[in-house]
Amino acid sequence: MSSEAQITSTSGPDKKTVRRSTREEFTNLPNLLTLMRIALIPPVMILMVEGTPKSGFYAAILCSIAAITDWLDGWLARRRGLESLVGKLLDPLADKLLVMAILVMATQLGRIPGWFAVLLLAREITITGLRALAAQEGLTVSVIEAGKWKTALQLTGIIGLLVYYTYAIPFGFGTYDVNFGALGIGLLALAMIFSVVSAISYFVSFMGAIAETKDLD
């Protein structure tokens, strides 16, 4: 597992910027998918508050759809040359809003302790701020291996929290009771470890990139 963050300059003669109006950027397909992800937050919250096994299952489905659109909007933007400033701002914002909303609601429902949610949210806010600072300095912060593991574990853990209840799952020659709430907390705990590793790596690489920029000046 590599824990080295890659921070590169966004300036230079090889970087080409396609000028589009804000309206065009907001209405292109990748950004519409991102906006749809934000629009899914209220229904997920309502289903969580309802608190039944069926509503939890539906909430998990909506969260899974959001995860698919998260991958799809980036893929479409790169494939069709529709990458935009609006997309670069909206995409991480949509992710953070969804994660924050679910974690806060899970805390309110007693599914996870408050300090647990605070630690996870603090990391998200810190990295978002770091990315904003990097952009201001003309740098981009690439996603690293630890960050990818964090995202995968966090997503799976959140889906576990949404399903929450214990279900009998057939596996092999038997049937086993799986407590999805406990499974979700366990996966989120692993995600927290990867969060710390990736956050430290981002910070160290960011400071190194800033130092190199000043040396060049």
Q: Which residue ranges make up each domain of the chain?
A: 7-216
Q: How many residues does the chain have?
A: 217
d(CA 146, CA 99) in angstroms, rounded, equals 18
Mean pLDDT over 155-167 rounds to 92
Confidence check: pLDDT of 46 > 90: yes
Structure tokens that stand for 206 in this block: 């960011």
Confidence check: pLDDT of 16 > 50: no
Confidence check: pLDDT of 6 > 70: no
CB distance 108 to 179 below 8 Å = no
pLDDT band at 18 (very low <50, low <70, confident <90, very high): low
CB distance 18 to 81 below 8 Å = yes
Q: What percent of the chain has pLDDT over 70?
A: 80
pLDDT band at 182 (very low <50, low <70, confident <90, very high): very high
Mean pLDDT over 64-86 rounds to 82
DSSP state of 165: S
pLDDT band at 116 (very low <50, low <70, confident <90, very high): confident
| pLDDT of 89 | 76
Count the neighbouring beta carbons within 10 Å of the beta carbon of residue 74: 16
d(CA 200, CA 169) in angstroms, rounded, equals 38
Confidence check: pLDDT of 130 > 90: no
The owner of tokens 């949610």 is: 117
| pLDDT of 217 | 57
d(CA 91, CA 88) in angstroms, rounded, equals 6
Q: Specify burial of residue 16 (Cβ count, 10 A radius: 0-12, 13-18, 19+).
A: exposed
| pLDDT of 75 | 85
pTM for the structure as a whole? 0.76
Instruction: Catalogue the E-assigned strands of the chain.
Output: 7-9, 139-141, 166-171, 174-179
CB distance 48 to 106 below 8 Å = yes
| pLDDT of 15 | 45
| Average pLDDT, rounded, for the chain | 80
**CATH code for 7-216?**
1.20.120.1760
Confidence check: pLDDT of 177 > 50: yes
The continuous run of DSSP H or E covering 67 comes out as helix 53-79
What b/e sequence results for 86-125 when a residue is b if at least 16 CB atoms lie within 10 Å of its CB, and e otherwise?
A: bbeebbbebbeebbbbbbbbbbeeebbeeebbeebbebbe
Amino acid of residue 102: I
